[in-house]
Amino acid sequence: MRWSHTKVVGPAGRFGARYGMGLRKKVVQVEAKQRGRHRCPRCKSLVRFRRIAFGIWACPKCDYVFAGGAFVPIYGR
Ligand SMILES: [Zn+2]
């Protein structure tokens, strides 16, 4: 029998039963967005930010480091 206890949440299934379904679905969304590109506030190039630590991001081109959202870079607001 195939293990299917992670249900429909896909990659967020790693969180197990914690956090509840609502947040886990949200995690799936923000992680899909995280794989996309974001514009660096300093060199203005469209890059995939490296996540150095929880909520800390770095531009791979100019090494600009900034604190943003825990899951998705947030800046310029
Ligand atoms: Zn940059």
Residue-wise pLDDT tens digits, 16-60? 666 666 776 776 776 666 567 888 889 999 998 888 887 788 899
CA-based radius of gyration for the chain: 15
List domains and CATH numbers for the chain.
1-35 (no CATH), 37-77 (2.20.25.30)
CA distance 34 to 64: 17
Q: Which residues surround ligand 1, an ion (CB under 5 A)?
A: 40, 42-43, 59, 61-62, 64
Would you place residue 61 in the very low, low, confident or very high pLDDT band (cuts 50, 70, 90)?
Answer: very high
Q: What is the pLDDT of residue 72?
A: 59
Give the pair of three-digit tokens for residue 7. 């249900």
| Residue 43 CA, ligand 1 centroid: distance in Å | 4
User: Between these two residues, 57 and 11, which has the higher pLDDT value?
Assistant: 57
| Residue 74 CA, ligand 1 centroid: distance in Å | 14
- Which residue's entry shows tokens 């995280």? 34
Query: Largest alpha-carbon pair distance within the chain?
Result: 52
Would you place residue 62 in the very low, low, confident or very high pLDDT band (cuts 50, 70, 90)?
Answer: very high
Q: What is the pLDDT of residue 67?
A: 80
